[in-house]
Amino acid sequence: MTFEYAPAPESRSIVSIKPKYGHFINGSFVAGKKHFPTINPATEEILSHIALGGVSDVDKAVMAAQKAYTKTWSKLSGKERGKYLYRIARILQERAREFAVLETLDNGKPIRETRDIDIPLVAAHFFYHAGWADKLDYAGLGHNPKAYGVAGQIIPWNFPLLMLAWKVAPALATGNTVVLKPAETTSLTALLFAEVCQQAELPDGVVNIVTGDGSTGSAIVNHSGIHKIAFTGSTEVGKKIARAIASTDKKATLELGGKGANVVFDDAPVDETVEGIVNGIFFNQGHVCCAGSRLIVQESIAEEIIEKLKVRMAKIRVGDPLDKNTDLGAINSKEQLVKIKELSAIGDAEGAERWSPQCNLSNKGFWFAPTIFTGVTQAHRIAQEEIFGPVLSVLTFRTPQEAMDKANNTPFGLSAGIWSEKGSRIFWASQHLKAGVIWANTFNKFDPASPFGGYKESGWGREGGKHGLAAYLKNGKETGAK
Ligand code: NAI
Ligand code: MG
């Protein structure tokens, strides 16, 4: 007997969205000139209009941040800065439901994830960094480490508020002030965060938010008043930023793409592994830089794993992101959907075999069924390029060394997973995988204390933990960043 799930929609009445937003500069909202719509990708409903920031808006924001740095923020003790961060963290917890609903509306990800993962992790990042603010001298980062001044921060649309937290919390804890630009499709939670800064009575100009597109981001990167850039997004834009700052004294951390390998050995616990594979690639619609988008499974158990994976995938509920039962929400934008469709079509054309469970997808909004490709070889583009959607490429191996060679054979090196019951095999594999983050018998686990970042084209530097603090300090002993 099977039970059907009755719809369990979360109410959206807790959020109030203004028809139009400006930028948040020097503690106040200031009107923008041009605006563009932001939509709910599950319905294509226009939620609001967002200001398109230009060079002069960025300039005003940088001046406000510089003034706040010199006059206020750099004069406060770490303990006082920490108090503001604790206050922000507590307000975020109090307003968690509002943030979760707003994030789901603007981004398309399921409420179950915004409520249980994104927003709790956001608060955790502020709490964690609040704790460091008065202990920087004891963090092993050198004596009396100094802030850069103004940090320019550019974030993507896949974890909008979480990426803001990853950027703003360490910057403020280390004594920097910030100018941040959210992604064009997901600005609303950043603008609600601006209200939280007001509510916390954070001194004016310590956090400035300028909304806009790539041209706005580029104005931040090229502003002479900014000494530190933190970027998360595509490798393509990451390379542009690296070129733009090459001849300057600007420091940067770049958190870019990935093509994570989930390596399954023949002694892996099958049912847990299948859960881990599903979580690795279908969490957040696969819009995850560290997604386990390549399954590299030992040949002797491949058939069993794939069979069980298909049974499990047929149970993934795709639909209304505000429904508490939903597992897989909407694709964030039409552009991203086109990209996923294009790369999947290339998978077909190159001879891989596509499979998806039966799904009733709405005609409104942007949707893509959970998909696996079997029979994938290393030469296939779907084994090399980031699809950034709910699409898994399956490869097989015979010997452990072959698994490592295949896992490392991409231009990226962000994440990897190992599934095995044997501890020595896990340690051996973790020493051979070229990835910044390696999970064993789990996947997509995040913690503010744990540094995150990649090798090769996955980026420069680390965010989170002590490594992440170092990236915001002039004499912070960091490795891997410019
Ligand atoms: P993107 O890299 O263009 O956007 C990320 C952010 O950078 C946005 O805020 C955007 O406005 C800004 N930006 C764009 N051009 C810029 C420039 N020249 N200078 C400064 N800032 C600039 O990413 P997009 O186009 O939304 O996604 C394309 C692909 O990138 C995805 O399909 C995925 O493969 C990858 N991606 C990876 C992410 C990650 O978490 N590592 C996040 C988002 C996208
Ligand atoms: Mg949107």
Rounded-to-integer distance, Cα 197 and Cα 180, Å: 13
234 alpha carbon, closest ligand: 1
Tokens 């699409």 locate to 391
The alpha carbon of 289 and the centre of ligand 2 are apart by a number of angstroms equal to 19
Q: Is the CB of 240 under 6 A from ligand 1?
A: yes
What residue's CA is closest to ligand 1, atom 28? 234
The pLDDT of residue 217 is 98
Produce one character per residue of 96-115: b if its CB has 16 or more CB atoms within 10 Å, e if not.
bbbbbbbbbbbbbbbbbbbb
- Ligand 1 center to 234 CA (angstroms): 4
Ligand at minimal distance from the CA of 231 is 1
* Atom 25 (ligand 1) nearest CA: 234
pLDDT in single tens digits along all 482 residues of the chain: 677 889 999 999 999 999 999 999 999 999 999 999 999 999 999 999 999 999 999 999 999 999 999 999 999 999 999 999 999 999 999 999 999 999 999 999 999 999 999 999 999 999 999 999 999 999 999 888 999 999 999 999 999 999 999 999 999 999 999 999 999 999 999 999 999 999 999 999 999 999 999 999 999 999 999 999 999 999 999 999 999 999 999 999 999 999 999 999 999 999 999 999 999 999 999 999 999 999 999 999 999 999 999 999 999 999 999 999 999 999 999 999 999 999 999 999 999 999 999 999 999 999 999 999 999 999 999 999 999 999 999 999 999 999 999 999 999 999 999 999 999 999 999 999 999 999 999 999 999 999 999 999 999 999 999 999 999 999 766 544 55
Q: Are 471 and 462 in contact (CB under 8 A)?
A: yes
Residue 268: what pLDDT?
A: 98
Ligand nearest to the CA of 36: 2
Establish whether 359 is a catalytic residue. no
Pocket test for ligand 1, best of 237, 381, 444 (most atoms within 8 A of CB): 237
State if residue 254 touches ligand 1 by the CB under 6 angstroms criterion: no
Judge if the beta carbon of residue 234 lies within 6 A of ligand 1.
yes
Q: Which of 121, 437, 393 is nearest to 281 (CA)?
A: 393
How many Å from the N-terminal Cα to the C-terminal Cα in the chain? Answer: 59
Neighbours of ion ligand 2 (CB under 5 A): 38, 106, 185
289 in catalytic set = yes
> Is 232's C-beta closer than 6 angstroms to any atom of ligand 1?
yes
Give me ligand 1 centre to Cα 191, in Å.
19
How much is the pTM?
A: 0.97
Amino acid at 255: E
> How much is the pLDDT for 480?
47
Q: Is the CB of 218 under 6 A from ligand 1?
A: yes
Whether 154 is in the pocket of ligand 1, judged by its Cβ within 6 Å, is yes
